[in-house]
Amino acid sequence: MSADADTPCHAGFADYEAHDATGLAALVRAGEVTPDELLDAALSRIAAHEPRLHALVHRFEEKGRQAIAAGLPDGPFTGVPFLVKNTGFEMDGTILSTGSNLFRDVVSSRDSTLVARYKAAGLVIIAKTNTPEFALSFTTEPDAFGPTRNPWNPALSPGGSSGGSTAAIAAGYVPMANTSDGAGSTRLPASHCGLFGFKPSRMVNPLGPVVVEAIAGMSTPHAASWSVRDNAALLDASGGPDIGDPYLSPVGTESYLSQLERDPPPLRIGFTPESPLGTPVDPECRRVAEEAAALCAELGHHVEICDAGYDAHALKAAWRIIVGVNITPAVEMRGRALGLSDPLGHIEPVNAEWVREARALPATAYLGAVNMLHQTARSLGRFFQKYDVLLSPTAGELPPPLGKLAGAGKGLDDFYDAFWTHAPFTCAFNASGCPAMSVPLGMSASGLPVGAHFGAGFGKDGLLFALAGQLERARPWFGRRPSLASR
């Protein structure tokens, strides 16, 4: 974790990357730096690295300047630059293209509830980050906007679907950024970019005021960050029910930030190093997870190898049905709005195939898929009667070369199999609504970041933050940055 930086500020604020968002906000409160100086620092890094990395797709720094000039709210992150993912998050007067040519010109006329809460926390939102089309890939390579590159190695992907956000953080644009996670889309790119990524319990963060839930409740918004405390404090600021929410996540009496500041009691940790699909796991990913298990044992937790107890093959089949059915109405409505006879000709071929498949499904197939999610939740619920935490690798593979996971040139079957081979561990926590996190505890022999994955029972977000804080104190990672970001 970064220090709260009590050193004096210099012209241009060269120490920007030495602080997390909490530390930067403390400097603003102390009068040692201004929000305009922080914005200048962010923009200088964007100017230096964005031409190569391409993490941003819609920029509106003038809105940030206007917000600063109008007077920012007094919040936990007042004056800190921030980025919002280009899928699912409306911000008044900005484009929400969802990584697709079909939606390229859509401009929001309001703020989503979450964006409004970010603004109330004092964050200065300056851009939307790149995402695959409809956020349906574990690499960020949309045809509409081109690929985002990983700051640790620009020949590699930063992951997806929140790869634009995680690449921007790793490159030093901002200390944290908004993400969303429907099958691992916060946690996978956080692992590939050396960051802490947290998926809260379902509906801790709202999706309103219009959207009720996304992909049958599986998609959960939050953030990736360098420090655990930023992530916890942001959830304290953004979390909580919205008007008309269909269900409510359990809410504790303590803030998430306060819970990470003390070690958790000894935990029962189940460890599953093997893919639940039987697909290969890269030895480096497995090694980091094993090292995480050993670290947990050193910290006083009981760790044993186990089976998570859910049907991963059935979950894989169900996710495909649910996603296809959920994206189809949006594509068709947009096509009608534009007067297009064939809107599928305006989206990527692999996603067009996904829509065609969904159109042919009976309603009973969708109902069966949703029930499969509930069965996964039941299975994990039983697991968490015996264990407090499930530990695994975050990904089955290291950060992939650009093109490997993209849909270009692939049929849906091949694309989908590669998707799940890359990420066999994470989706159970979307299906069940349980919280989960990727913690940047390791590095590969070739110098790439590798995360370890931890999940807990529904509503146990505070427990995970407590464990994350303990791990961060034991194996700090804040100063471990890619060389691209420090040049």
Rounded to an integer, what distance in angstroms lies between the CA atom of residue 230 and that of residue 82? Answer: 12
User: Which DSSP symbol is given to 156?
Assistant: B
**Active-site position among 2, 100, 112, 161:** 161
Torsion angles phi and psi, residue 469, rounded to 5 = -60, -40
Verify whether residue 63 is a known catalytic residue. no
Task: Give me 432's structure tokens.
Answer: 């069940």
Closest CA to 87 of 17, 189, 172: 189
**Active-site position among 85, 119, 199, 460:** 85
**Active-site position among 2, 162, 180, 185:** 185
Question: Which residues, other chains included, contact 69 with Cβ-Cβ below 8 Å and sequence gap of 6+?
Answer: none
Is beta strand 81-85 parallel, antiparallel or unpaired with respect to 124-129? Answer: parallel
Verify whether residue 180 is a known catalytic residue. no
Rounded to an integer, what distance in angstroms lies between the CA atom of residue 104 and that of residue 124? Answer: 24
Closest CA to 450 of 82, 187, 81, 124: 187
Closest CA to 127 of 159, 69, 160, 167: 167
Rounded to an integer, what distance in angstroms lies between the CA atom of residue 380 and that of residue 259? Answer: 24
Rounded to an integer, what distance in angstroms lies between the CA atom of residue 409 and that of residue 45? Answer: 34
Residue 387 has, within 13 A of its CA and on its CB side, a CA count of 22
Other Cβ atoms less than 10 A from the Cβ of 480: the count is 11
Amino acid in the structure at residue 19: H
In terms of C-beta density within 10 A (0-12 exposed, 13-18 middle, 19 or more buried), how is residue 236 classed? middle
Task: Give me 17's structure tokens.
Answer: 């990357």
In terms of C-beta density within 10 A (0-12 exposed, 13-18 middle, 19 or more buried), how is residue 10 classed? exposed
Q: What order do you get walking across the sheet with 268-271 strand by strand?
A: 176-181, 220-225, 196-199, 436-443, 449-456, 389-393, 268-271, 302-305
Task: Give me 418's structure tokens.
Answer: 């590669």
Rounded to an integer, what distance in angstroms lies between the CA atom of residue 210 and that of residue 193? Answer: 32
Helix axes 21-29, 35-53, angle to 10 degrees: 150
User: Which DSSP symbol is given to 95?
Assistant: B
From residue 487, how far is each of 152, 171, 192, 265 by CA, in Å? 12, 10, 20, 42
Verify whether residue 432 is a known catalytic residue. no
Four-point Cα dihedral 393, 354, 132, 84, nearest 10: -90
Other Cβ atoms less than 10 A from the Cβ of 196: the count is 30
The catalytic residues are 85, 161, 185
